[in-house]
Amino acid sequence: MDVCEPAAFYHGFRVVEEIPQRPVRRIRVCTGLPCLMAGARGLLSTVRTSAPDALVEETGCLGHCDGAPAVLTEGRELAPATPEAVRRVAEGAPELPEYRDLDAYRARGGYVLLEALRRGDPGREAILNALEGAGLRGLGGAGFPTAAKWRAVKSQPGPRHVVVNADESEPGAFKDRHCLERDPHRVLEGAFIAARVIGARDVHVYLRDEYPAARSILSRELAALNRWATGRLPRVHLHRGAGAYICGEESALLESIEGRRPLPRLRPPYVAERGLQDQPTLVQNVETLYRVTGTLAARFGPAGIADEHAAGRRFFCLSGRVTRPGVYEAPRGVSLRTLIEEHAGGMPAGHTLRAFLPCGASGGILPATLADQSLEFGSLEAEGAFIGSASVIVLSQADAPREAAAWALDFLARESCGKCTPCRLGTRQARNQLQGRGGGEALRGLAEVLAEGSICGLGQSAANPLRTLERHFGDG
């Protein structure tokens, strides 16, 4: 039971009564909203017909919304995927994108700042003051001030840990993959700086299962780091997720690392006080650590990796009805209209902007009339939404907001850990209401129960699609 019970929780594992005589090929077809817009239902049907001996499954999101529709099979990511490409793919190592390896990173001045910190110049307090002065905030969703978070962990008695949350599973989010597959050492150096500042000897990287290319890159580069800097860096533990959206919640992630079902913990105590192994733990998002390195290099050097605008900019993921879906770097307060027109190539021919989801399934649904609103922390809450991880899904007149809300609640219902009754039952009831023609007082009541009674952010944020749908679109 110690193995089967946790394993049965994850989408990435199959618990079987007996081992099959030959391996069964598993094909996972993404049915996240951007992939549905790109024809995922038709692809799923075709693949099931053309691969009758395979285990063909639909999955919530594979983190390749910029290449929709996406498929994961035989350890390979296909985005965009076609039935022909799925048939041709063979088991083996994933194809890796071009990225900056250790030698290239060091040639630009990589790890010079970390070495200087090890020698005591700059000191820990100087680092914290620099992050505080820059106004850097966490970019995983909550936007908590980075320096304050580090100080909170540092103030606790050791030993301490740093955990890199690379389990971005919000539909429409793929910026962490962008960072890890292009400049992994900038993220790692940020994690090592954090470990040095708070006094942690171990860094844990928790990477979502659906990123085999990123996992190969990290494994390769961590081995290179060990050869180059033996004994000079914290111990690094690369943990492989197994497909569970709830693991994006920091306490559930820690439960997963420790081998248990990833059920969120009641707070207090907070993970900064009692986290991994019941010890103070700093959990930080991938992009935040990416920005830490650029921000501090701009203050202390070296110039080769410095980014004087790092703290005031962030990556926005745009998918859905845009001409060029992708990851775009822009000021934190940019508007959706600017992102679409100046970065993503505008709306596709024949489509006009109708609505957008600012943060995947959890951030609510907003109308086109708010396309000029600032996409900054705190700017969308008055409209019943939030920017969170900046995973923006764009809808046109071809899409119904009510159907988008129903998809969001279906995703959240399937990903609920089930620990608390308001989320376990409320998300399902809300989904059923939306998929039918229910609404009005029933949905308002469900939204209140979800927001006020759920233990963690999954259930609490499930109220956002319901409230914003009614507020901005009526019956959708």
Domain co-membership, 368 together with 265: no
Distance CA 475, CA 71 (A): 33
Distance CA 259, CA 434 (A): 36
Q: State the pLDDT at residue 121.
A: 94
Q: State the pLDDT at residue 475.
A: 65
pLDDT digits (tens, 9 = 90+) for 405-451: 999 999 999 999 999 999 999 999 999 999 987 678 889 999 999 99
User: Which residues of the chain have a pLDDT value below 50?
Assistant: none
Residue 23: CATH number of its domain: 3.40.30.10
Q: State the pLDDT at residue 476.
A: 61
48 within some domain? yes
Domain co-membership, 343 together with 422: yes
Q: State the pLDDT at residue 17.
A: 65
Domain co-membership, 323 together with 299: no
Report the domain count for the chain.
3
402 within some domain? yes
Domain co-membership, 293 together with 260: yes
Distance, CA of 287 to chain centre: 10
Residue 384: CATH number of its domain: 3.10.20.600
Q: State the pLDDT at residue 440.
A: 82
Domain co-membership, 291 together with 318: no
Distance CA 35, CA 402 (A): 17
Domain's final residue, options 33, 56, 88:
88
Domain co-membership, 302 together with 330: no
pLDDT digits (tens, 9 = 90+) for 295-304: 999 999 999 9
pLDDT digits (tens, 9 = 90+) for 40-50: 999 999 999 99
Q: State the pLDDT at residue 365.
A: 98
Domain co-membership, 231 together with 130: yes
95 within some domain? no
Domain co-membership, 319 together with 304: no
> Which residues are bridge partners to 56 per DSSP?
27
96 within some domain? no
82 within some domain? yes
Over 289-342, what HEC string results?
Answer: HHHHHHHHHHHHCCHHHCCCCHHHEEEEEEEECCCCCEEEEEECCCEHHHHHHH
Q: State the pLDDT at residue 412.
A: 97
371 within some domain? yes
Distance CA 7, CA 271 (A): 24
Domain co-membership, 147 together with 226: yes
Q: State the pLDDT at residue 3.
A: 75
> Which residues are bridge partners to 160 per DSSP?
200
Domain co-membership, 75 together with 205: no
Domain co-membership, 337 together with 469: yes
Name the phi and psi angles at 111, rounded to 5. 70, 0
Domain's final residue, options 88, 118, 135:
88
Distance CA 115, CA 413 (A): 47
Q: Which domain holds residue 444?
A: 314-473
97 within some domain? no
Residue 251: CATH number of its domain: 3.40.50.11540
Domain's final residue, options 308, 330, 361:
308
Domain co-membership, 295 together with 327: no
94 within some domain? no
Token pair listed for 56: 């063909």
Q: What is the pTM of this model?
A: 0.96
